[in-house]
């Protein structure tokens, strides 16, 4: 069994620098306790909690299916973090390790990593495979949100 993931993580506010505790799931979009700006929402999910963390999220979700042995995933991860920071309050980035979440990966038909999926209210609205730089990913996510 994979280790149980923490219920929250600490995120540094890109606006004022304060550290904030951000829950992995829940109906509220996280905001900074100091300056009230939206915080980047980047969390992990596995087979047991994907429905709660991703499908029930109150804002659109970008799912990053990745693996520890995948070189391009190490390039796409910081790019996605940048997109999640730029689009704070508008998207939630959910990272799924395919080796620890085989059921979810199978359900989404993930055949290569990284595979990225945009979901709105639990429904897939866009997907792509392979690495890309942050500006390309940001445009892709923006198009998916607008579409």
Residue 20 CB, nearest approach to Zn ion (Å): 7
Cα–Cα distance between 146 and 131 in angstroms, integer?
22
The only residue of 6, 7, 34, 78 in contact with Zn ion, by rule CB under 5 A? 34
CB 65, min distance to Zn ion, A: 30
Measured CA to CA, the distance from residue 12 to residue 22 in angstroms comes to 10
- Is 73 a known active-site residue? yes
The C-alpha angle with vertex 61 and arms to 25 and 133, in degrees rounded to 5, equals 130
* Footprint (CB under 5 A) of Zn ion, residues 86-125: none
Q: Examine the residue annotation and report whether 16 is marked as an active-site residue of this protein.
A: no
15 near Zn ion, judged by CB under 5 A? yes
- Choose, by CB under 5 A, the member of 6, 16, 51, 136 that binds Zn ion: 16
Positive or negative, the CA dihedral 105, 107, 137, 36 is negative
Coil, strand, or helix at residue 96?
Answer: strand
- Which residues are identified as catalytic? 70, 73
- Footprint on this chain of Zn ion (rule: CB under 5 A): 13, 15-16, 18, 32, 34-35
């Amino acid at each position: 069994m994979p280790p149980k993931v923490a219920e929250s993580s600490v995120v540094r506010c890109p606006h004022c620098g304060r550290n904030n505790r951000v829950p992995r799931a829940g109906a509220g979009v996280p905001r900074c306790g100091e300056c009230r700006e939206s915080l980047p929402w980047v969390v992990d999910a596995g087979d047991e909690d994907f429905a709660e963390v991703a499908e029930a999220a109150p804002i659109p979700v970008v799912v990053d299916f990745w693996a520890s042995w995948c070189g391009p995933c190490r390039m796409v991860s910081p790019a996605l973090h940048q997109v999640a920071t730029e689009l704070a309050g508008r998207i939630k980035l959910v990272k799924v390790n395919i080796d620890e979440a085989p059921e979810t990966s199978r359900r989404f038909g993930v055949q290569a990593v990284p595979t990225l999926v945009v979901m709105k209210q639990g429904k897939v609205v866009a997907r792509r495979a392979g690495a890309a730089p942050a500006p390309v990913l940001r445009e892709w996510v923006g198009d998916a949100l607008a579409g």
